[in-house]
A and B are shown apart, each in its own frame.
Chain A
Amino acid sequence: MKHPLLEKAAPILKWLGGIRINLRLALAAICAIGILHVCATLAAPMLMVRSAFDRLSPQLPINETVVFPPVTPGSQPIPFMTPDVRYAMCRYDTTDAPVIVTAELPDLGWSLALHTPDGDNIYVATGVDVRRTNLRIRILPANERFMGLTPEALGMSNTSEKPQTLRSARGIVALRAPDKGRAYQPSTEAALRRFRCSAQTVQ
């Protein structure tokens, strides 16, 4: 006597036995799945119209700093932007001229980061305990158009304090200040307002 489960499964097994797997087609399917997987993954960042750069761009004039108000449910420019940090940002564009960024990191937890439109961090500096860190960064376009034409190279600017040089066409500079509580808010706000980002005039 057959087991009842075996009796029920018999027609299904018979049907499965009748299926002839076309090996060439199966192999082609696996290859096609792989190709589609790679293409979809690589194309995904380009197909996303609402990246962080796209979301923030309308609020950020080119080569000007914007100090964001404390993040609240009504003023959260991008998802997962949390109110534990205050932000000052600048959307830089070096198409017409190099961009100079100056910022100070007064304490631990402060950071200055350059983000490309794809979201990569091409530069990041963090504050250290007790000591104030002053930063001066020059962002040059990715091509060599401005090589040797900087004010320092032309002898028109102070060469004793040379800025750090980075190459990037456009992106966002974000100065992040940690929330230390209500008592620290005025000093945090003042330090954020000292953040500067402007196109450098080259003659």
Chain B
Amino acid sequence: MAASLKEEINALERHLRELAAHTDDELVERYLIKRSPRPKGIYWQLRGMVGTVLRWFQAKWPWRPDPWPVSLKKQPTDAQAKPLLVWAVGTSRETLREACTSLSERWDSLPGFAPVLITDVADFAFFSRLGWLVEYLPRLAGQGEPYEERKLKYLARLYRGAPVIPVTAGLKDCEGIKTGPAANLWRA
């Protein structure tokens, strides 16, 4: 892998680890949907017990389903694919299109991974045709912490441990994309 790309990846991974270290317990606690109390009756008690047993099995690897699968429906990537973050924050629209198109054409060399594009560029007509999961970072005027910063920390926690590459990796001819991030298996 080219030294500069490796350094970029290392820097991104470090940056995302730092962001993920920021907790937002109030957000999680306030907006976490809790299961409703079970209605009374033998049927609902039995149904609840079955549900508890199923969730116990599902919590055990390898049967545990990914709570946030990143492979979209109607796309050829494996439904069980793990996320590979493609970092495109502060990138121009033209560079993003060229790089993503190139990455998309070479994605077969990254089996088991589905791309998650992290970007502040609103080019959704292009994204629709790309077929990738897009995590968008808009600026919204308002109060408190800048929205895009808070959301980025949230995403860093959501995708904690996922491999990441800069979108400009798509413009580089390097075999290292195949062996670098793909070698870091990610477990939720």
Whether A and B are associated in the same complex: the answer reads: no
The interface of chain B, by Cβ under 8 A from chain A, is none
